[in-house]
Amino acid sequence: MLRSAQLLLKHGSRSKNIICYLRTLTSGNSLQSASLSTTSVSKDDYFAAIHHISNIVRREVHPERALNRMNLSVNSELVFRVLRSCSNSPTESLCFFSWARSHYTPTSVEFEELIKILIRHRKYESMWKTIQQMQKQQLTLSCDTLSFIIEEYGRNGLIDQAVEVFNKSTNLGCKQTVSVYNSLLFALCEVKMFHGAYALIRRMIRKGEVPDKRTYAILVNGWCSAGKMKEAQDFLEDMSKKGFNPPVRGRDLLIEGLLNAGYLESAKKMVRRMTKEGFVPDIATFNSLVETICKTEELQKTGQFDDAFSFFGEMKIKGHSPNRPVYTMLITMCGRGGRFVEAANYLVEMTELGLAPISRCFDMVTDGLKNCGKHDLAKRIEQLEVSLQRV
């Protein structure tokens, strides 16, 4: 028995209702209009139907036969959602799209979803054939999809192909915007071609494009991940001299780059040096630093909380209000280290700032306080949780 038939038997009348519901959808309908339909089938049933069709696409030897028997009304919404659901099955997604094209005219949205699936799975030949089909329909690639293609080539070490796509971006209907430049910059940094990346930025400036935050972050992160701190600093200073200051300060970018590259100790030293010199890292940098410290397994095992507490206190002294994830990390870290009183203090502090702790933090703190004999404090924390639920 075919799997599609087995699925229908398994779900019974509900599956039949779902399939009937899908048949009522016209090519002009969207999910929103479908949900407002007078039919009794809900959004949950709609997505169950998408899941059912996706299973047929992924599992059937000849899915087109099962799909034809269903007599579906094929539209853009349906095709897009099935492709998204089958994103880990590139060959099957391509077969489904080929079947769907015989029943409706695809838009650029479905074409681009398929293109992303194919390049993620390195199906380059099929991807370019799909792009050619798209062009035959007088549809053009969006700059976001073009950038995605360039970056995927870079991730896989195919820098020549990434450069080729960049160079023919105009022929593909995309202008060489900052985002497209950034995608090639990313690809160059992925293969450690930093001098080529810096040359690309200079070309970008000559063409009248202004580097944005991501431009700086890509190159700084790349240099930091390769341990080339001096090159990253020289780059920021050179750009500053030319009048192109990054949207965030250079030292903050360097700290973020060090954290992303795993150089926690170097990042901490830089922050300490900045504060001694009277410079205050921005709130995002402080948050990233405290979160990274809290996630460090070595710190959690040894109970060495001093750095986290120190930087957290420094944030508040400098007028930076920590965000919810930072508080959650600190509470979790204290709980794992058995410091439940400090964790309780952070819970109270959070609520005073209008930040709602997650229930997991409350459970961990109250249980920990009870286990170490702090029953009165545990009761107060429980009362705090109840009072917040009433708000």
pLDDT tens column, 203-230? 999 999 988 888 988 988 888 888 887 8
Q: Quote the pLDDT of residue 125.
A: 97
Q: Quote the pLDDT of residue 252.
A: 75
| Amino acid identity at 168 | K
Measured in Å, how far apart are the chain's first and last C-alpha atoms? Answer: 55
Both tokens of residue 220? 């700084």
The DSSP 8-state label assigned to residue 211 in this structure reads P
Q: Quote the pLDDT of residue 68.
A: 92
Cα→Cα distances 287→136, 180, 192, Å: 49, 29, 28
Q: Quote the pLDDT of residue 25.
A: 45
Q: CB of 280 within 8 A of CB of 318?
A: yes
| Among 110, 117, 185, 112, CA closest to 143 | 112
What does the DSSP assignment read for 4-36? HHHHHHHHTHHHHHHHHHHHH--TT--HHHHHT
Torsion (CA) 299, 302, 306, 311 in degrees, nearest 10? 10
H/E stretch holding 99 reads helix 90-101
Tell me the torsion sign for CA atoms 32, 34, 37, 39. Answer: negative
3-state helix, strand, coil in the chain (%, to 5): 70, 0, 30
Q: Which residues lie closer than 8 Å to 178 by C-beta, 6 or more apart?
A: 204, 209, 210, 211, 212, 215
H/E stretch holding 50 reads helix 43-59
Whether the model pTM is above 0.75: no
Q: CB of 176 within 8 A of CB of 168?
A: no
Q: Give the pLDDT of the chain (391 residues) as one tens digit per residue.
A: 344 444 443 444 444 555 555 555 433 444 444 333 334 457 788 888 899 999 999 999 999 999 999 888 899 999 999 999 999 999 999 999 999 999 999 999 999 999 999 999 999 999 999 999 999 999 999 999 999 999 999 999 999 999 999 999 999 999 999 999 999 999 999 999 998 998 999 999 999 998 888 898 898 888 888 888 788 878 877 887 877 766 656 677 777 888 877 777 777 777 777 777 666 676 777 777 777 777 765 555 554 566 767 777 776 666 666 778 778 878 887 887 788 898 899 899 888 888 888 888 889 999 999 998 888 999 998 888 888 876 5
Q: Which residues lie closer than 8 Å to 27 by C-beta, 6 or more apart?
A: 73, 74, 75, 76, 104
